[in-house]
Amino acid sequence: MTNNPPITSWAPGNDLTFVMNIYQNGILQVRVLNTAETYSRFRISDYGMGVEWSQLNLQTISETAGADYTISTQADGMTLTQNGAVSGQDQFEIKIQYSPFRVQQYSNGQLLTEINN
């Protein structure tokens, strides 16, 4: 168990860093970090359980063709669409909404997971 100090106040719009990694087969890792914190909060991988990072293939994201995902920007957010659909495999799309902040992951057009709902 970690010994983290209690949170006494929090301004969610200040000093937060959003990190999102997309791995092969639709694995999505989302982290929202407070850069002012000097300690690390609990993560399952901190205890050697659940994640074998060397086996995960990080996907590439670009505004142009040639990447694993293409990013398109809208006024209220952005959409990341998987390129190179393979017959028989799931097709993934990720939508990021700015206000209220939300991340939605779709598989074959069906909502799979929603972060910050």
If phi > 0 it is left, if psi is from -120 to 50 it is alpha, else beta; for residue 112 that is: alpha
Q: Are strands 69-74 and 27-34 parallel, antiparallel or unpaired?
A: unpaired
Structural domains counted in the chain: 1
Domain of 51, in residue numbers: 16-115
pLDDT in tens, 88-102: 889 999 999 988 889
Domain presence at residue 4? no
DSSP secondary structure letter of residue 58: B
Global confidence as pTM: 0.72
Tell me which amino acid residue 45 is.
Answer: S
6 is a domain residue: no
Q: Is residue 5 part of a domain?
A: no
Residue 11 lies in a domain: no
Judge whether 84 lies within some domain.
Answer: yes
Q: How far apart are CA 19 and CA 40, in angstroms?
A: 15
pLDDT digit string, tens, across residues 55-112: 889 999 998 878 999 999 999 999 999 998 778 889 999 999 988 889 999 999 999 9
